[in-house]
Amino acid sequence: MAFVRELAVSEHLIVLATIHQPSTRIYLGFDRVMLLSEGRVAFSGRADAAVAHFEGLGHALPPLTNPADWLLDLVNADFADAAAVARLLDAWAAARRDEALDGGAAGVDDEWGVEPTLAKQLVPQLRRQAWLLSRDVLLWVRACCFLVGNLYFAVVYIKARDRRQDQILSRMWLNVWYVAVPSMVTCLLVFALNFESRLVRTEAANGMVSPTAYLVARSLLEIPIVVVFTLFALGIPAFAVAKYHAEDNRFLTTSFVWLCQAYCWDAYAAAAAVAFESPLIGVAVFIGCWFSGFLYGGFLIPIEDIVWPLRALHSVWKPTTGSGRPKQP
């Protein structure tokens, strides 16, 4: 138990143990204890405060007695009178009601059984998500894919650096690939978030975490991550190799537009991960959405050539006017 306590302190863990009749040294080594009897709480709070609680109810700890054994004898109906145990349980329930009005008592927990608020959960969730993201290898894999993939296309379309009329089509496709490859790689996120969503659902069902706190914490931490992805995807490939204009705030505006679309794809990957129990189905749906974004984007086929009702999908992917085949003068 000394090793378990040392491990909990060094690794910032919470250890929950169910134990029967521990020694005095082990019992006093716990930070907090909860005594249960017939499914009801007889005491919850600091281990050293349990004796004082029951002494206040007229039960004194005999000299040279293990407090854990004594407490077990008090609250266990198999060892004590059932009516006496019931009175102890009722006394605890009544004390809890009174303490809720008086602001609590020293050594007694006021958190057990109380649903934590969003404000109380947000900071721990931010710490937890930051710790998980710092150990997530997938983030570095995606960042490297963004850099290497877009750099590859920048080299393939190296002639598009020359701002000539015959390079307009090549430069347009270079822009397309700068968005296409990173957004496609984002499908890997479906696998990671599918597993994480199962853990969060279990914790939420057990009342351990609020889904809102989790979503807010992850969203706040995901924004700076997407900013880093933007620098990987456009910094060297677009502005250094492809010679995109960086003056007149064009670096900021171009990066902001790319960041917004990348964040949208991340959000869609998260939705696909949560919506389907199988991550393979979530990836399939994500890829279908990815292909639809190009098909109904307006640059592969004129919108006027798409029959209804499929033409309505253009409004989902490109809700702007004036796209399609240009009108004849």
Question: Token match 């008086």: residue?
Answer: 102
Q: What tens-digit pLDDT sequence spans the chain (329 residues)?
A: 888 888 888 888 888 888 887 888 888 888 888 888 887 888 888 888 888 888 888 888 888 888 888 888 888 877 778 888 888 888 888 877 655 444 444 455 544 444 557 777 888 888 888 888 888 888 889 999 999 999 999 999 999 888 888 888 999 899 999 999 899 999 999 998 998 888 888 877 766 778 888 888 888 888 999 999 999 999 999 999 998 887 778 899 999 999 999 999 999 999 999 999 899 999 999 999 898 888 877 778 887 788 888 877 776 655 444 444 544 44
pTM for this prediction: 0.62
| Spans of all domains in the chain | 2-102, 126-295
